[in-house]
């Protein structure tokens, strides 16, 4: 009762203290939610490759962000026959040389990707549509842009753009997932084959019919099959190919997300710093403000332990209330921004339970710890020193 009395009788002081803690938690939650979102996306990128194997011509290096030498499509049948292969689709991946590269996303060049409409539809980890729609089977002259490329080109859905000399209607934008698709113009395989044929004067493909052209074959792994083992099986069963398993790509995805992660980590660190300083400053001030009161209590016979207990109990109550306030306003801001950004695609923040519990627990414990030092010091002072302390 005394605790609540003391809080209620000093509303402005209590509110200021709670606010200091609220700001700390607020900063943690908001930046934390941003980090959680990025984390989710990066994990999405890793997951994207976890369910697939890319089969390239044997001479290739296996770098995801390099254009591969063409593969002969007569191998498609052999690959589909390997046990454990759920589906296999030919795919063209080639550079998009005329896309303006200024402001490119973290050095990843623009690509042209051609694939069956059915490939994304049957993909266990399909690319999510951020805006517009995906292209359909049989459709021609359309493209869906990766989020980064769309920003770079500045084209809107429904507008046309010229890709390698041909005109395409942009029908949709894929959500960023930290894969090659982020900077790609994805189009029907047949369209990409024509562009590819036009761009490459390659003796090994010059005589081949255009419908036989592909730079790689994407294999979806059947349920319960170990992709690493399946990649080995394909390498053995099919001659002169290089089957790349998810482990090969994990590092490449993480590498491409690294700068992003560094930025987010830095922001989170700053939030933690600001949040902690706000909380610590608040508690230290709260004790300093109350030194005189502590002096009075000691002068009339309160023991050090009692002064400390009462103070920490009050700090805990204010900390818990301030924390709730911080969570509430953090959540409010996040909801608001998410609502605003949701209209043109995906949410910016991800509020996870571990984030809420983590920042709440962290701040309240920090508040208690930050209050503990100065409170012990004040509780051990001679009453007269506490009473004479200037404020």
Partner 1 sequence: MKPAIIATNLAKYYNTGKENEVRALDGVSFEVATGDLVAIIGPSGSGKSTLMHILGVLDKAQKGSLTIGDVIVEKAPRKQLPRIRAREIGFIFQGFNLLSTLTAVENVAEAAVYTGNSRRESLAKATKILEDVGLGDRLHNFPNQLSGGQQQRVAIARALVNNPTIILGDEPTGELDTVNAGKIMDLLVALNRDRGQTIILVTHNLEVAERCNTIITMRDGKIADIRRKGNHA
Residue ranges in contact with partner 1 by CB under 8 A: 1-2, 5-6, 9-10, 293, 295-304, 306, 382-385, 387
- Total count of residues recorded for the chain: 391
> Considering beta carbons, is residue 75 or 297 the nearer one to partner 1?
297
346 contact partners, CB below 8 Å, separation of at least 6: 128, 130, 175
The residue among 83 and 301 lying less far from partner 1, judged by its C-beta, is 301
Minimum CB–partner distance for residue 369 and partner 1 (Å): 24
- Smallest distance, partner 1 to C-beta of residue 282, A: 19
**Cα distances (angstroms) measured from residue 147 to each of 46, 128, 163, 186, 334:** 18, 11, 16, 11, 22
- CB 389 to partner 1: min, Å: 13
Q: How far is the CB of 9 from partner 1 (least distance, A)?
A: 4
User: Taking the chain, what is the end-to-end CA distance rounded to the nearest angstrom?
Assistant: 27
Nearer to partner 1, 66 or 380 (CB): 380
CA distance 383 to 298: 6
In whole angstroms, how close is the CB of 295 to partner 1 at the nearest point? Answer: 8
Cβ proximity to partner 1, 354 vs 391, nearer residue: 391
For the bound state, the minimum distance from the C-beta of residue 17 to partner 1, rounded and expressed in Å, comes to: 14
Distance, CA of 341 to CA of 88 (rounded, Å): 36
Q: Find residue 90's DSSP bridge partners.
A: 217
Judged by CB, which is closer to partner 1: 9, or 391? Answer: 9
Write down the least CB distance from residue 5 to partner 1, Å: 6
Residue 20 · residue 317 · CB < 8 Å: no
Instruction: Output 341 or 388, the one with its CB closest to partner 1.
Output: 388
Residue 278 Cβ vs partner 1, minimum distance, rounded to whole Å? 25
Which one, 2 or 167, has the nearer CB to partner 1? 2
CB of 382 to partner 1, least distance (A): 6
Q: With respect to partner 1, which residue has the nearer C-beta, 263 or 288?
A: 288
Measured between alpha carbons, how far is 147 from 347 in angstroms, rounded to an integer?
Answer: 14
Q: Which is nearer to partner 1, 335 or 388 (CB)?
A: 388
The CB-of-294 to partner 1 minimum distance in angstroms stands at: 10
Residue closer to partner 1, measured from CB, 5 or 232: 5
Q: Rounded CA gap, 235 and 244, in Å?
A: 9
């Amino acid at each position: 009762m005394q605790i609540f009395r003391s809080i209620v009788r000093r509303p402005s002081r209590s509110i200021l203290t709670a606010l200091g803690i609220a700001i700390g938690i607020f900063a943690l939650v908001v930046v934390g939610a941003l980090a959680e979102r990025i984390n989710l996306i990066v994990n999405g990128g890793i997951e994207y490759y976890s369910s697939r194997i890319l089969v390239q011509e044997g001479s290739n290096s296996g770098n995801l962000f390099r254009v591969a030498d063409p593969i002969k499509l007569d191998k498609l049948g052999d690959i589909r026959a390997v046990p454990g292969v759920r589906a296999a689709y030919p795919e063209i991946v080639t550079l998009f040389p005329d896309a303006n590269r200024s402001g490119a996303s973290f050095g990843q060049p623009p690509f042209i990707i051609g694939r069956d409409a059915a490939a994304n539809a049957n993909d266990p980890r399909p690319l999510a549509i951020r805006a517009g729609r995906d292209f359909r089977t049989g459709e021609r002259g359309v493209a869906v842009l990766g989020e980064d490329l769309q920003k770079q080109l500045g084209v809107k859905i429904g507008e046309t753009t010229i890709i390698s000399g041909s005109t395409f209607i942009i029908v949709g934008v894929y959500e960023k997932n930290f894969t090659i698709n982020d900077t790609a113009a994805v189009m029907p395989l047949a369209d990409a084959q024509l562009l590819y044929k036009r761009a490459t004067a390659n003796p090994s493909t010059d005589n081949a019919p255009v419908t036989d052209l592909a730079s790689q074959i994407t294999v979806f792994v059947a349920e319960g099959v170990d992709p690493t083992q399946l990649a080995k099986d394909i390498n053995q069963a099919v001659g002169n190919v290089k089957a790349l398993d998810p482990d090969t790509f994990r590092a490449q995805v993480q590498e491409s997300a690294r700068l992003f992660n560094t930025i987010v980590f830095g922001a989170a660190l700053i939030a933690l710093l600001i949040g902690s300083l706000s909380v610590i400053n608040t508690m230290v001030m709260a004790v300093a403000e109350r030194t005189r009161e502590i002096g009075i209590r000691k002068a009339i016979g309160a023991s050090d332990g009692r002064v400390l207990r009462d103070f920490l109990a009050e700090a805990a109550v204010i900390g818990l209330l301030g924390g709730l306030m911080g969570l509430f306003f953090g959540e409010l801001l996040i909801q608001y921004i998410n609502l605003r950004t949701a209209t043109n695609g995906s949410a910016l923040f991800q509020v996870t339970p571990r984030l809420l519990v983590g920042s709440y627990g962290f701040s309240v414990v920090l508040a208690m710890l930050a209050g503990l030092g100065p409170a012990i010091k004040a509780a051990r002072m001679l009453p007269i020193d506490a009473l004479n302390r200037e404020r």
